A and B are shown apart, each in its own frame.
Chain A
Amino acid sequence: MNEMLPAYAAGSLRGADRDRVRAHLAGCARCRADLAAWQAIADAATPGVTPPDAAGMVRAALTRSAIAGPADPPGDGPWTRRLRYAAALVGAEARLIRLAVPVASALVMALGVAVVLVQAAAVAPPATGADVVLALVAPVVAAAGVAGTYRSRRDPVAELLAATPTAGPLLLLVRLALVFGYDLVLALAASAVLAAAPAGGAGGLHALIAAWLGPMALLSSVSLLVAVWFGPDLAVGAAVGLWAVRVLAGGVFAGDNWPARFVMDAWSTNAAVLAVSAAFGIAAVVMAGRLGPYGGEPHGAWRATHPT
């Protein structure tokens, strides 16, 4: 009997049980004392507070639900969520790239292809090979594009980006993947066109790709490193300068001396060139992270906020 007393004191006992307890209490002083103790606890436990009004409470909850966005559909693992986040990031960055950059890249690349085709039609073999033209055009297009991926703080977007919770290096990586990937696709397409053309003047598709892949990686990584350290303007200058050295070494100063040979070796696709490019690229991204998400002071400039 006495184990029904708490529920009786709480008022949650119903029907026959309640009637039985009531009848028993009438004749049992011990249980009445017991009930009084439970009653004291019940009274003290009830805080006697009025709940907040329904309209305000429901509105607050619905507002929070709307702000938080749609709930994750059931069965949505962390990987799908991460993939969706990455896709959203790529989409957002793609919208920030000025239209002129991809259009100019495509035009320059198309010009290179046209030069090869026109020359092959006009000049009797052996004409300048398609591999040489691509090896000159593709790297400088990619390097110029990559130089623009590191946003200077004068960029109006930079202010907005500084306030995003996403890390600066991650944004830089996404942007790099977009721009470099685009240039990679352009160069591949140009190679495919030239390899398919009867007057290609070079071996198969593989030989054509080998002609530009290494130089493109090297020049782009150097360009990125300079962009992070000194700014995008200097990066374009450095890329064009290096590119000019290569042109001169292959043409005007063509010779068998060691500097010319070194330049020609560096301007090819091999493991060492790709490794150096990767090292430069990683160094640039790490450095971008240490300079802070667009908030870091430009290197070498006077500290505007902290006089030294």
Chain B
Amino acid sequence: MARPEPGSDEALLRAVAAGDAGALTRLYERHAGALFGYLYRLAGDRMTAEEILQDTLLAVWRSAAAFEGRSKATTWLFGVARRQAHNRLRGRRCPEPIGVPPSDRPDEGAGPDELAIAAAGGTPVAAAIDRLSDHHRDVIALVFVAGLPLADVAEVLTIPVGTVKSRLHHARAAIAAALTAQEVPE
């Protein structure tokens, strides 16, 4: 993933604050891939992810003036996106998180697990990620989908870097446990 020059990102944000729609387009073009991937991973479907992405652009357009340059522009952007995702997904019923022992479900043909795997793009690992608890999936998405350095992830989530690392390892353990339960090698 191409890393943008930090300085020019901040300059773009300042231009957006001044009402420059072209700057908003350039900012979007730079971060669209990472932002959309991140939101897609949180939302689980394309339409919701697009809605949240639009909410995010709207929020950036309206509150770019509030960006004071104390954080990096990227972390600010992802912070805005995360808040918008939270607003839109708050009322949604979340699937049962993994990391707790799975109940004794009768295993018959194309059960819910297989359907979840298909919905997540086919791989059992993707299905397991989809069923992580919210804060574990958030860390996975910010690190691996958005491609943010751990320090930036910590800033977006407003938690210490050490907590980011421990959440990563807990998420991985939960994924491994889910795969073991399905007898798929990691």
Contacts and interface: CB of A to CB of B under 8 A. Distances in A.
B25 A55 contact: yes
B143 A51 contact: no
A40 B129 CA distance: 11
A60 B41 contact: no
Contacts of B123: 44
A297 B33 CA distance: 57
Contact of A54 (B29, B40, B147): B29
B140 A45 contact: yes
Contacts of B157: none
A65 B144 contact: no
Contacts of A230: none
A286 interface: no
Most chain-B CB neighbours within 10 Å: which of A46, A47, A49, A55?
A47
A58 B41 contact: no
B143 A54 contact: no
A46 B33 CA distance: 11
Contacts of B129: 41, 44-45
Interface in A137-182: none
B81 interface: no
Contacts of B35: 51
Interface residues of A, number: 34
Interface string A1-35: 00100110111111000000000000000000000
A76 B59 CA distance: 18
Interface in B130-152: 140-141, 143-145, 147-150
A38 interface: yes
Interface string B94-135: 000000000000000000000000000101011011000000
B12 interface: no
B149 A45 contact: no
Contacts of B67: none
A62 B145 CA distance: 27
B21 A51 contact: no
Interface in A49-76: 49-52, 54-55, 57-58, 60-62, 64-65, 71
B86 interface: no
B58 interface: yes
Contacts of A61: 24, 54, 57-58, 61
B177 interface: no
A47 B121 contact: yes
A49 B147 CA distance: 15
Most chain-B CB neighbours within 10 Å: which of A37, A42, A57?
A57
A7 B144 CA distance: 8
Contacts of B141: 45
A45 B36 CA distance: 13
Given A6-B168, A45-B126, A45-B141, A64 B53 contact: no
A300 interface: no
A58 B25 contact: yes
Nearest to A3: B165
Contacts of A43: 125
Contacts of A11: 1, 147
B77 to A, nearest CB: 14
Interface of A: 3, 6-7, 9-14, 37-38, 40-52, 54-55, 57-58, 60-62, 64-65, 71
20 contacts: A6-B168, A7-B150, A11-B147, A12-B150, A40-B125, A40-B186, A41-B125, A41-B140, A41-B172, A44-B123, A44-B125, A45-B140, A46-B144, A49-B49, A52-B53, A54-B29, A57-B50, A58-B24, A64-B54, A71-B63
Given A61-B24, A71-B62, 8 more contacts: A6-B168, A12-B148, A12-B149, A41-B129, A45-B129, A51-B53, A54-B32, A61-B57
**Which 5 pairs of residues, A with B, have the shortest CB-CB distance?**
A44-B125, A51-B36, A61-B57, A51-B32, A44-B126
